[in-house]
Structure 1
């Protein structure tokens, strides 16, 4: 495996002298930490290769990094706690899409109104960039920076792809086996699940194109007036050089991709786990043969904000287990905490999951956490809250390396019995290890893959040769509706002619039969 990796890295090393350091503008303004955690190792790796990175984000570096400069957009945190609470509330499909799209419009506005963005990036002639890398989370007006700097644009999706991201590069996504991210379905849908997927995807598409894309277009025209009349946003949105996905077919399911859509699932994971802090290492080692359970609800959902009754139920369950529990908890104190529970506001999650004594991961089901659990071959117990978490937990259940529960209704006995089943039945761990082996069996690591393709776009000045011609076709032409219409029209014309001929023949036959009768009556 090492020799294979070395062979794959040789082309990158050989090409490095031919590629001068580029000036790259990255825009990842989402206020959830997990999205930026996913991409920052990749951006730092580009900086270490001599590229100058300017990063627009909500989590600026605490220590200086060579060739890496932050433009902080902390305005995106306004009302974020309220938004997270609203995200877990019940909504119909239309309301869910309105909520999500408005959220991303607010982020777009926050970035474009940021003083430093306006001073350093939006002023014409202020600076130059060779490449734009942007988060593809319905932040369409921000794609205007590509036209503003006359630079190629790369999209990076931290959750995989959906119909909206597929449109950026003309990627086919048949609704018959490509489920909507929020639907919680698999690629093996029943008839009624396909109906459900078709309806939800259609509602999402109509909501975006009729209600929210026009808002993004107005923002684009407002903040990029000097180029909006030359390059419409709809055209700019179809001119991506590359889209990279934080996904891999071994983690989800196989599906078609055009040449400039690349899977880099696990972009943030280091292949060499770092040593754990001393107190955490001692707690894990002291667990003995029973092992350790790691419990985290991610960066958006906070355990301290769970209802008191839910927290007490969790404490009661953990106290009854022979295993030790590492619990990501955002307060320093938790009254009633049993001795077998270790609390911390932050854990080095990938390094903990790499430890052999960690036997189970209780997770909210975020994609980064799911990928990390698979990378390290750990079974999971999913407690999904919103968005793609239901989809990810559903995949874990179907694949056989995890189970899921409803965090709102589960009882202490139900939680304990599910944990005991995951720990006592070897099939869950064995399946996790098997999927881990499939996922790791790649010619290059996800980060190496992302860097190679990024520099490929730079070497080939935007790599327009990878762009599929579907991006230049209308909806009618793409789906051959005009061709089908022509065949239907010709078919109807032929049927019409045949029917008219038959009608004439019938009339002739009728007249020829009636003529002798009339003559006969005349003669009589």
Structure 2
């Protein structure tokens, strides 16, 4: 092929690809923080010209023409009726185990009924639409992987809070419990012997329950929804082209990843936007700085017990700093003059403001990432899930202080706030981490675009697939090899023992014979 033909073919390819791929993004969980991450992927891909269809319970306002939304209507209303007090999930090790079993027990059925069987989703499945790519979160969503084979599309998953057993198994990523802590435990990558013991046992129990109890239920939902699937449930789980992780080694820990597992921590972080006028004024006119207090999108601050809420209010009233508190009610009894409350606040834009000196948080992955991106120190009040681990890592890195929910009192709140505000090492460590986090060759959005289009260009990119995916559990951990080694060692030991006995008997018999001869003589 001559040079002119190559140029012509290249131009044709570029024009066809510039038209954009048809992408289906699925956010079935119905959790606001998870949906924020999913929407960030969808907006990023739509922003470069791809035709994106989004299944979501949180539709965005004024979407672009190439950003179509299939709303999971009624899902949020049903969740609101339950009005769950998530502070009740706060507790020790037993509570953690109970929550893990709840995730594997009740939640899959709830998600299947609310999302997979939704009329709008059913209508899409029965349509003749075609998609080139399906992207969805890997959190309790295994039956939804079937959308990829249903539409004959490539499959990419993402994790809103980093790597876990659910994501690692999709691409064969190693995660030894010796230094990879289970995300629901308050451990870091440096564990004592007791912590490594607990982490190993907890990880093994998690994997066993996941494999033998949880997955069969998910397989049932997969078979029920896709009875004519070309790929079985197990085959589809091994046919994932790429996994994106909402984490970064500067904030978490270095991890050994296969090439199709990509960190894009901070994908949801945009350039700061102008604040609403009242917030802008409140922050600008704070000569002593501002404390921002938010317990996330799922935890309702109004559920904080009255005595603990009063402890915060009493401490806030004595501060020279102003306080912004994300609070669902319109007002709080005994609200001090230096406190502003709102049911919703633009968190990233607030944390970007130079007058914000401290972030009081539950330790969710989104909030901690945004806080560190802007170099703000934290006080962490973890409640459940990965929050304990996120705060423990932050404490060990020196930019956060832990305040246990059970220990909240006027004295502990005052001590925590004054410690972080008056000790410059917290702010210094936060700024240092921010510099490390920001120092990267591409933004998370650019990284997502590159790798998604790489998968599209190369037909799912089988060249990225780890050979570990073709090994059984015994083979992957070389347990069969170790077993044979033990058998060989055991056989050699038996042979040596047999030879030793023979030699011993021959030597002993010879000595006895000579002794008898001497006595007879």
TM-score exceeds 0.5: yes
> Relative to structure 1, is the Cα distance of residues 199 and 75 closer, same or farther in structure 2, using a 3 angstrom cutoff?
farther
The match for 2:414 among 405, 416, 425 is 416
Two-structure CA RMSD over aligned residues (Å): 2.3
The match for 1:102 among 84, 89, 105 is 105
**What does 1:32-431 correspond to in 2, within 5 Å?**
32-74=31-73, 76-77=75-76, 78-79=78-79, 81-82=83-84, 84=86, 87-88=89-90, 91-105=94-108, 106-121=110-125, 123=126, 126-227=128-229, 230-270=230-270, 272-288=271-287, 290-431=288-429
| Alpha-carbon shift at residue 138 of structure 1 (Å) | 2.3
Structure 1 residues 374-383 or 33-42, which shifts more?
Answer: 33-42
| Alpha-carbon shift at residue 514 of structure 1 (Å) | 5.6
Structure 1 residues 346-355 or 403-412, which shifts more?
Answer: 403-412
Question: How big is each residue's C-alpha offset from its partner over 1:78-122, in whole Å with a ceiling of 9 and x where there is no partner?
Answer: 34533746534664454222112234302133222111111212x
Task: Report the 3-state secondary structure (helix = DSSP H, G, I; strand = E; otherwise coil) of the residue aligned with 2:216.
Answer: helix
Structure 1 residues 68-77 or 414-423, which shifts more?
Answer: 68-77
> Relative to structure 1, is the Cα distance of residues 167 and 393 closer, same or farther in structure 2, using a 3 angstrom cutoff?
same
| Alpha-carbon shift at residue 14 of structure 1 (Å) | 13
Does structure 2 conserve the Cα–Cα contact (< 8 Å) formed by 1:94 and 1:204? no
Q: Does 1:502 align with 2:504?
A: no
> Relative to structure 1, is the Cα distance of residues 513 and 401 closer, same or farther in structure 2, using a 3 angstrom cutoff?
closer
Alpha-carbon separation, structure 2, partners of 1:85 and 1:141: 30
| Alpha-carbon shift at residue 401 of structure 1 (Å) | 0.9
| Alpha-carbon shift at residue 372 of structure 1 (Å) | 0.5
| Alpha-carbon shift at residue 434 of structure 1 (Å) | 0.6
TM value normalised by structure 2: 0.91
**What does 1:16-35 correspond to in 2, within 5 Å?**
17=15, 19=17, 20-35=19-34
How many equivalent residue pairs? 505
Question: How big is each residue's C-alpha offset from its partner over 1:237-260, in whole Å with a ceiling of 9 and x where there is no partner?
Answer: 122111000000000111211100
Structure 1 residues 77-86 or 292-301, which shifts more?
Answer: 77-86
> Relative to structure 1, is the Cα distance of residues 88 and 94 closer, same or farther in structure 2, using a 3 angstrom cutoff?
closer
Task: Report the 3-state secondary structure (helix = DSSP H, G, I; strand = E; otherwise coil) of the residue aligned with 1:225.
Answer: coil
Structure 1 residues 450-459 or 32-41, which shifts more?
Answer: 32-41
Does structure 1 conserve the Cα–Cα contact (< 8 Å) formed by 2:323 and 2:339? yes
Task: Report the 3-state secondary structure (helix = DSSP H, G, I; strand = E; otherwise coil) of the residue aligned with 1:153.
Answer: strand
What does residue 5 of structure 1 align with? none
Task: Report the 3-state secondary structure (helix = DSSP H, G, I; strand = E; otherwise coil) of the residue aligned with 1:119.
Answer: helix
Alpha-carbon separation, structure 1, partners of 2:122 and 2:91: 36
TM value normalised by structure 1: 0.91
| Alpha-carbon shift at residue 75 of structure 1 (Å) | 5.1
Task: Report the 3-state secondary structure (helix = DSSP H, G, I; strand = E; otherwise coil) of the residue aligned with 1:336.
Answer: coil
> Relative to structure 1, is the Cα distance of residues 27 and 404 closer, same or farther in structure 2, using a 3 angstrom cutoff?
same
Does structure 1 conserve the Cα–Cα contact (< 8 Å) formed by 2:85 and 2:299? no
> Relative to structure 1, is the Cα distance of residues 166 and 446 closer, same or farther in structure 2, using a 3 angstrom cutoff?
same
Structure 1 residues 364-373 or 497-506, which shifts more?
Answer: 497-506
| Alpha-carbon shift at residue 489 of structure 1 (Å) | 2.0
Structure 1 residues 290-299 or 53-62, which shifts more?
Answer: 53-62
Alpha-carbon separation, structure 2, partners of 1:404 and 1:147: 45
Task: Report the 3-state secondary structure (helix = DSSP H, G, I; strand = E; otherwise coil) of the residue aligned with 1:82.
Answer: coil
Structure 1 residues 505-514 or 450-459, which shifts more?
Answer: 505-514
Alpha-carbon separation, structure 2, partners of 1:488 and 1:313: 61
| Alpha-carbon shift at residue 267 of structure 1 (Å) | 0.2
| Alpha-carbon shift at residue 295 of structure 1 (Å) | 0.9
Alpha-carbon separation, structure 1, partners of 2:114 and 2:157: 20
> Relative to structure 1, is the Cα distance of residues 14 and 500 closer, same or farther in structure 2, using a 3 angstrom cutoff?
farther
| Alpha-carbon shift at residue 474 of structure 1 (Å) | 0.9
Alpha-carbon separation, structure 2, partners of 1:15 and 1:295: 51
Alpha-carbon separation, structure 2, partners of 1:456 and 1:345: 41
Alpha-carbon separation, structure 1, partners of 2:493 and 2:40: 65
Q: Which runs of 5+ in 1 are unaligned?
A: 1-12
> Relative to structure 1, is the Cα distance of residues 285 and 85 closer, same or farther in structure 2, using a 3 angstrom cutoff?
closer
Question: How big is each residue's C-alpha offset from its partner over 1:268-309, in whole Å with a ceiling of 9 and x where there is no partner?
Answer: 111x31111111111112211x11111111111112222222
Alpha-carbon separation, structure 1, partners of 2:507 and 2:425: 79
Structure 1 residues 479-488 or 150-159, which shifts more?
Answer: 479-488
What does residue 487 of structure 2 align with? 489
Does structure 2 conserve the Cα–Cα contact (< 8 Å) formed by 1:93 and 1:200? no
> Relative to structure 1, is the Cα distance of residues 24 and 454 closer, same or farther in structure 2, using a 3 angstrom cutoff?
same
Alpha-carbon separation, structure 1, partners of 2:303 and 2:481: 57
